[in-house]
Copies of this chain bind each other. A is one copy, B any other.
């Protein structure tokens, strides 16, 4: 039986129209390095977004489905691009300016971007790449920066302000299919080529609603959010869309992401909400410890991208700032879970919930798949790989402009769920705790052992400086853990002592038999343990292994 309700597509266009009218007085404040920041209302930014859409169509010839890239910081112009490009039916492609240049080149070519909007301050990054980007016909430069580095470029160069000046502030927006592409973002691709996630209007719209629900970030037009998480990565966690939906004011740091200017903008502008990865909050904490600033306006801070060290949460608690864990990835838009504790608990009782990754919202289903491929119970003990399903979860990767979408088996289950590559447990009341990456977990006799758990337990020993645990082949169990340990100077602990120490907190069957002392744990370029290298060292007999 059919309903009698209207059917209106869920589009970014609608979010733009809503924000620039109902919330027209809300503001985007962008840090500029000048004594006064740039301030622009949603009405003004919305009108400029409309002008940009007109310019892209009429002057640059952008058409339905064309990819328009941005290489920009968090600022009002980037917000304008966020709305103009999808609303006109084109696809916003945000470029991660932290990627190695060869990956950037690969990505732009794979997406076949026709236009790049770039901040002047990022021209030194873009200019040398341009000769390798044959699809890019236009470069649009916004903000201060030496344009002369583009002299001789094959692409036409435009100034953002000159390009939009005098254009109409109305646009006959196309009626878009809510399932059509609105934006895209590539994963960084530590192994293999980067993979493109193409967000739909529907996925962005529903994700925005979720971000604004009280159980997630709970934003209202009475507040200000400090958007540290970059717009060039996973849509700045959906905040630009969410803000236009409910009118919360945006505070944008542009390129001023160092602890000192961040502390200054918080003290001056008093955001009640902020979103960023743990390293940002680590740096800010060191800054305000050295040079005290009042951060207490920030009643809720969303922290994600990596697990937040509990000590960091505690330190911010003392400053009157509450860090709230969220988990997500490029493929999940990114809101996968958030860790608001259940009601009615004391602070002490809340703590174990706060350090989990949190609960799934209604729009995200989660399940744990065990070593044997079975769906595991939510018992807080059974560890499996997390798979997720929902409208803002990727079901494939972009296959290029004339390729089929890619659905690699290690990334998507046969019934379409995303394999997150994260291993963890879920409590009976639905709180997710991630313990490891699937590729690092030790698959021992049909059970999984978390390498991270063993490492953390080992590193709690007073004589251990660092410890990395990897899976190594074992005839009887399939895999068993190998513990590689860096002792502190002058330490005397032997393997039996360390194993006994581990046994105090870890089940006996999980304890490593194989041990090796190493001078240092090999690390990746971003400082993470490089377990590939350790496994290779073991396989090639380069480690001096003792078996207990």
Contacts and interface: CB of A to CB of B under 8 A. Distances in A.
Contact of A222 (B3, B65, B343, B405): B343
Interface in A30-63: none
A360 interface: yes
A365 to B, nearest CB: 8
A215 B210 contact: no
A503 to B, nearest CB: 35
Interface residues of A, number: 74
Given A2-B180, A214-B220, A343-B221, A10 B391 contact: yes
A213 B213 contact: yes
Contacts of A481: none
Protomer copies: 2
A215 B179 contact: no
A138 interface: no
Contacts of A395: 4-7
A483 interface: no
A181 interface: yes
A322 interface: no
Contact of A212 (B64, B213, B343, B365): B213
Given A200-B5, A245-B362, A213 B215 contact: no
Contacts of A17: 365
A181 B214 contact: no
Contact of A4 (B25, B210, B340, B396): B396
Interface of A: 1-8, 10, 14-15, 17-19, 21-25, 64-65, 91, 179-182, 196-200, 202-203, 206, 209-210, 212-215, 218-223, 245-247, 340, 342-344, 359-362, 365, 378, 389-398, 405, 416, 418, 429-430
13 contacts: A1-B64, A1-B91, A2-B198, A3-B179, A5-B198, A6-B395, A8-B389, A21-B378, A22-B360, A23-B430, A214-B246, A215-B221, A221-B342
Given A3-B200, A4-B197, A18-B360, 5 more contacts: A4-B405, A5-B391, A5-B394, A206-B209, A218-B220
